[in-house]
Amino acid sequence: MVSLKFSIILLSLFSLAIITQAQDLTYLKYICPKNYAYYMPNSTYEANLNLILSSLSSNATRNNINGFYNVSAGQAPDVVYGMFLCRGDVSNSVCRNCVTFGTKDVLQRCQMEKAAVILYDECELRYSNRNFFSTVDQNFTLFMMQSPNNVTVEPDRFNQLVATTLNNISTRAASAASGAKKFAVQQANYTGDQKLYSLVQCTPDLSTSDCSRCLEGAISKLGDCCNRRQGGRVIFASCNFRYELYEFYNATAEVEAVPAPPPATPSPPPASGSKTSGKGKERTILKTVLGTSIPIVVLAFLTASCIIYFRRIRRKETDEEKNHRSFFQELRKSRGSTFAEGGYHLPRCAPSLLACAWQLWNEGNKAELIDPMLSDSCNAEEFSRYMHIGLLCVQEDASDRPTMSSVVLMLKSHNSFLPQPERPAFVGRFMDNLEATASNFSVNEMTLSDFDAR
């Protein structure tokens, strides 16, 4: 009986949390395109869709994605593409709440649909069985007016002011760096005591020219939707604008930077005669092991990917017997070179593999990390993507690192948007100490015996 009461209370609190979350959002519109097919219950497509929605919800909690994330899962004909875009001035918590609620709400509104779009004032969420990444999509247009009233003071000048302001900030939004928010706001003087507030935004995966083209198309609809209106908006799938005679956005959000994680507070020294907690020791050891091993594992995976690619090309060129013999010859050379020369040779940059990868990434010289023996056969674009994923996995702030399910999707899909990585853990803090003491390091001389079967 007690257990039943507890379950009812827990369920009530959970329901209340969902209702509260929904009340914080401003629902606008949902679209279930009728020219798309339906999926069947318990089908592969439904499984991929659930995976996509789960990934969107989990990645909405990250701090370094600029309110945008896209991902795909599965293979044709069951592939699913998903995306969310949060309004550029909302906080991370509002973005997270909007996306989390939207992933549940959209399934209720577009049941068994292979494509859907749901719009809130705070975010947009979308999925489809057709690839819409990095493309200008004007397949649906939504006109909205917050106020049905017309302006009465110089209406023609007001129309011109709206168009000019939107065009100006469209240029600013479109010219944002790759992966950054393509978002801009501006206020302009309409009358002595009346100001015009405007906002534009594109999905960050659009190029500068595509973002400009999308916003130009949206602004061209001003005459159809908002002639002389005190406020209005046009929403395309890939971009949108809005203007009002009141401040409807957070004016400071555009220049706010994501705060850096607080510095670690050193633990107080143990009291005299006190015993150190075994649990604390285990936690310290675990942090050290993870911090040391994860970068090595991730970057070893990058090198292994190129080796696999090299073997695949070799297999196509020779017959089965020759390839079998060549494989073991290359493996023996690789082992001998790796151990006899002290392991993988770092490029000219840094004293550790992770630090070197981070430095080359920032310099734009990612290809220098590829082993020279594999440089001719390793796909540079594919290697760059794997390096990008690897650096995302070793960011200093654990909350910025992708989840394992997200990493799997990133590796499977070459179309998903990847945010810019932040500085890895253990890089940049004590590099000077390493350089200062490098001369004191000893060389571990060893021999390697290579055993062959008789």
Shared-domain flag, residues 313 and 416: yes
Q: Which two tokens stand for residue 450?
A: 């290579």
Residue 381 belongs to a domain? yes
Residue 188 belongs to a domain? yes
Q: What are phi and psi of 440, to 5 degrees?
A: -90, -5
Q: Which of 428, 346, 417 is nearest to 395 (CA)?
A: 428
- Residues 290 and 71: their CA atoms lie apart, in Å, by 27
pLDDT digits (tens, 9 = 90+) for 147-169: 778 999 999 999 999 999 999 99
- Residues 29 and 124: their CA atoms lie apart, in Å, by 10
Shared-domain flag, residues 87 and 156: no
Q: Which of 70, 68, 71, 72 is nearest to 92 (CA)?
A: 68
Shared-domain flag, residues 150 and 226: yes
The CB-side HSE value for 360 (13 A sphere, CA atoms) comes to 22
The parent domain of residue 29 ranges over 21-128
pLDDT digits (tens, 9 = 90+) for 48-58: 999 999 999 99
Residue 14 belongs to a domain? no
116 contacts 81 by C-beta, under 8 angstroms? no
Question: How many domains is the chain built from?
Answer: 3
Residue 155 belongs to a domain? yes
Shared-domain flag, residues 110 and 187: no
Name the 3-class secondary structure at 288: helix
**At which of 206, 228, 254 does a domain end?**
254
Q: Order across the sheet with 232-235: list the strands.
A: 142-144, 232-235, 239-244, 195-202, 182-189
Contacts of 298 (CB under 8 A, 6+ apart): 390, 393, 394
The CB-side HSE value for 143 (13 A sphere, CA atoms) comes to 11
Q: Where residue 212 sits, what CATH number does that domain have?
A: 3.30.430.20
**At which of 203, 235, 254 does a domain end?**
254
Shared-domain flag, residues 214 and 247: yes
pLDDT digits (tens, 9 = 90+) for 171-227: 999 999 878 999 999 999 999 889 999 999 999 999 999 999 999 999 999 998 899
Q: Which two tokens stand for residue 10?
A: 């827990």
What pLDDT shows up at residue 303?
53
Residue 328 belongs to a domain? yes
Q: Which two tokens stand for residue 281?
A: 């020791």
What pLDDT shows up at residue 91?
92
Residue 123 belongs to a domain? yes
**Angle at the Cα of 289 (from 283 to 290), degrees rounded to 5?**
90
What pLDDT shows up at residue 181?
94
Shared-domain flag, residues 116 and 148: no
Shared-domain flag, residues 48 and 70: yes
Q: Which of 194, 275, 416, 444 is nearest to 343 (CA)?
A: 444
Q: Which two tokens stand for residue 377?
A: 């056969």
Shared-domain flag, residues 352 and 386: yes
Residue 116 belongs to a domain? yes
What pLDDT shows up at residue 16?
37
Sign of CA dihedral 304, 309, 310, 316: positive
Shared-domain flag, residues 81 and 56: yes
Residue 182 belongs to a domain? yes
206 contacts 238 by C-beta, under 8 angstroms? yes
Shared-domain flag, residues 108 and 154: no
What pLDDT shows up at residue 65?
82
Q: For the chain of 454 residues, list the mean pLDDT of each consecutive stretch of 10.
A: 40 39 76 88 97 95 86 96 97 94 96 96 96 89 86 94 97 91 96 94 96 96 92 95 95 47 38 38 37 46 53 51 48 44 52 76 78 76 82 78 74 68 67 42 46 49
**Angle at the Cα of 295 (from 300 to 282), degrees rounded to 5?**
125
**At which of 128, 161, 177 does a domain end?**
128
3-state SS string for 374-437: HCCCCCHHHHHHHHHHHHHHCECCHHHCCCHHHHHHHHHCCCCCCCCCCCECCCCCCHHHHHHH
Shared-domain flag, residues 42 and 80: yes
Contacts of 226 (CB under 8 A, 6+ apart): 143, 145, 162, 232, 233, 234, 243
Shared-domain flag, residues 91 and 161: no
What pLDDT shows up at residue 190?
94
Contacts of 423 (CB under 8 A, 6+ apart): 358, 395, 396
